[in-house]
Chains A and B, each alone.
Chain A
Amino acid sequence: MKNNESLLDLQAYVDGELPEDRRREVEALLPADADARELVEGLRRLSGLLRTHEPAAVVPASREFYWSQIRRRIEAESVESPTAPATAAALGWLRWLIPALGVATVVVVVSMRSPSSELALAGGGGDVTLADVSSTVFRSESDGVTVHWIQ
């Protein structure tokens, strides 16, 4: 039980983090390896010691003073009620609206800058597909109108 990998495997065994096959290998090894057994026992003991004797601490301020500082910070940041329905609904819409606006902006910029968007279909209309943005553009020169479908 000399190399890093073996030591870390023993630790992982103690922590319950070894895969089943490796766990069986370690269990088979332990009866014949006193050093490994000693390490496993020591790690278990230390872990148990820490978990049952977690250091504690007490806030060095009165209840009133501690809370008053928190409350002041909450108010200073103009926090509204955490469950205000309007706020929650707005957040829900924004989750969809922001990406949609982003895609729309890209399409508009591409269509304005790309020469392909200038393809005029004389006298009538037609489709120009911008493959890289998954959109379809219909442009009517006669009407002076361009329509973008975003897929």
Chain B
Amino acid sequence: MPPSVKHDYPSAADETLVQWAQTGDTEAFEELVHRHRDKIYARALMMMRNEDQALEFSQEAWVKAWQRLVQFQGDSSFATWVTRIVINLCLDQLRRQKRVRTESIEAMDEESGGVERQLPAPEVNPTAGLEQDELRRRIDEALGKLTDAHRTVVVLHEFEGLEYKEIAKRVGISIGTVMSRLFYARRRLAFLLQSLKRERSE
């Protein structure tokens, strides 16, 4: 790595840091890592539900981001670009895991039985009255109770804002399966959040 010219890294915008990093400036890249590392780690943790794997994949994502930095054209924000890298790493790992273990009965049931299973429809306001941090924690808990397959479509749709067809392409499933999984996952989340609310009121 070539020596870098001294810049005011903390004050520079992401776009500027990226430009510097693209010339081989590792200090600029370190500043980018510092700014966005929690977001990248959080996304990996949300998908993998395992701290060691989340740490591993988040670091791997940064290494790949450095290696592919020349390909970054600024079509999205830098943070979004790196987030997509870590998501791809997680999806690869989830596919490998799926090969060596059987999907849960719940997931198989959903795939074969349709979406009209009698889980409650999402309540209008299942979490009224909860504090914001508490609500985040409850949502995280509920996401943790979904299968990998269901959680993945929720993360890609709700948090990454991807359309059905893009999710289908990334995960390697049909659009119909995306819709089915998303619907089931949402009903399950609504049910879990309602349960949490009931626990809290008891």
Known: A46-B186, A69-B59. 4 other contacts (CB 8 A): A49-B193, A57-B54, A74-B63, A77-B63
Min CB distance B181 to A, Å, is 11
Contact (A11, B154) CB under 8 Å given A42-B123, A57-B42: no
Mask of B123-135 contacts with A, CB within 8 angstroms, 1/0: 1111100001001
The segment out of B6-14, B21-29, B86-94 that lies at the interface is B21-29
Tell me which residues from 57 to 90 in chain B have a Cβ below 8 Å from any Cβ of chain A: 58-60, 62-63, 66-70
Q: Chain A: interface secondary structure?
A: helix
B149 interfacial contact with A, CB 8 Å = no
A-chain residues with CB within 8 Å of residue B2 when the two chains form the complex: 81
Say how far A27's CB is from chain B's closest CB, in angstroms: 19
10 contacts between A and B (CB under 8 A): A46-B122, A46-B189, A49-B193, A50-B154, A53-B132, A55-B136, A57-B54, A66-B33, A71-B26, A75-B1
Q: Which residues of B contact A11 (CB under 8 A)?
A: 179, 182-183, 186
Choose from A12, A59, A82 the contact partner of B66 (Cβ within 8 Å): A82
Residues of A near B33 (CB, < 8 A) are 66-67, 70
Number of interface residues of B (CB under 8 A): 61
The residue among A42, A45, A63, A88 with the most chain B CB atoms within 10 A of its own CB is A42
Contact present for B121 and A79 (CB under 8 Å): no
Contact B124 A57 (CB under 8 A): no
Q: List residues of chain A with CB within 8 A of the CB of B70.
A: 82-83, 88
* Docked pose: A15 CA to B161 CA in angstroms: 10
Does A151 have its Cβ within 8 Å of any Cβ on chain B?
no
